[in-house]
Structure 1
Amino acid sequence: MFNTKETYPNQSLDNDLCQAVVAGNTVYVRGQVGTDFEGNLIGLGNPQAQAEQAMKNVKQLLEEAGSDLSHIVKTTTYITDPRYREPVYREVGKWLKGVFPISTGLVVAGLAQPQWLMEIDVIAVIPEKK
Structure 2
Amino acid sequence: MKITHVNPTTLHCNPAFSQVVTVEGSGKTIYVGGQNAVNTDGKIIGDDLGTQTEQAMRNVTTALSAANATPKDVVKLTIYIVQGHSIQDAFLAARKIEGWNHPTAVTVLVVHALAHPKFLVEIEAIAAVKK
Regarding TM over 0.5, the answer is: yes
Asked if structure 2 preserves the Cα contact closer than 8 Å seen for 1:71 and 1:127, the reply is no
Q: Match for 2:66 among 50, 64, 68?
A: 64
Select which of 89, 92, 107 maps to 1:90: 92
Q: Give the whole-Å Cα distance in 2 for the aligned partners of 1:33 and 1:75.
A: 14
CA separation of 1:82/1:105 partners in 2, compared to 1, >3 Å: closer, same or farther?
farther
- Within the candidate set 21, 29, 34, 1:31 is matched to 34
Q: Give yes or no for contact 1:47–1:87 (8 Å, CA) kept in 2.
A: yes
Conservation of the 8 A alpha-carbon contact between 2:54 and 2:96? no
Q: State the AA in 2 paired with 1:119.
A: E
Q: 1:124 aligns with which of 104, 107, 127?
A: 127
Q: Which runs of 5 or more structure 1 residues have no equivalent in the other structure? A: 1-23
- C-alpha distance in 2 between matches for 1:53 and 1:85: 16
What are the Cα deviations for residues 28-65 of structure 1, in whole angstroms up to 9, with x where unaligned?
A: 0010111112201100x211111111111111111110
1:101 aligns with: 104
Larger relative contact order (Cα-Cα within 8 Å, sequence gap ≥ 6): 2
Post-superposition offset of 1:121: 0.4
State the match for 1:51 in structure 2: 53
Give yes or no for contact 1:33–1:53 (8 Å, CA) kept in 2.
yes
C-alpha separation in 1, matches of 2:50 and 2:83 = 13
Q: How many residues align?
A: 103
SS of residue paired to 1:38: coil
Which residue number in structure 2 is paired with residue 42 of structure 1?
45
Q: Which residue of 1 aligns with 2:22?
A: none
RMSD of the alignment, in Å?
1.4
Looking at structure 2, the residues matched to 73 and 118 of structure 1 have their Cα atoms a distance apart, in angstroms, of: 19
Give the Cα–Cα distance (whole angstroms) in 2 for the partners of residues 39 and 107 of structure 1.
24
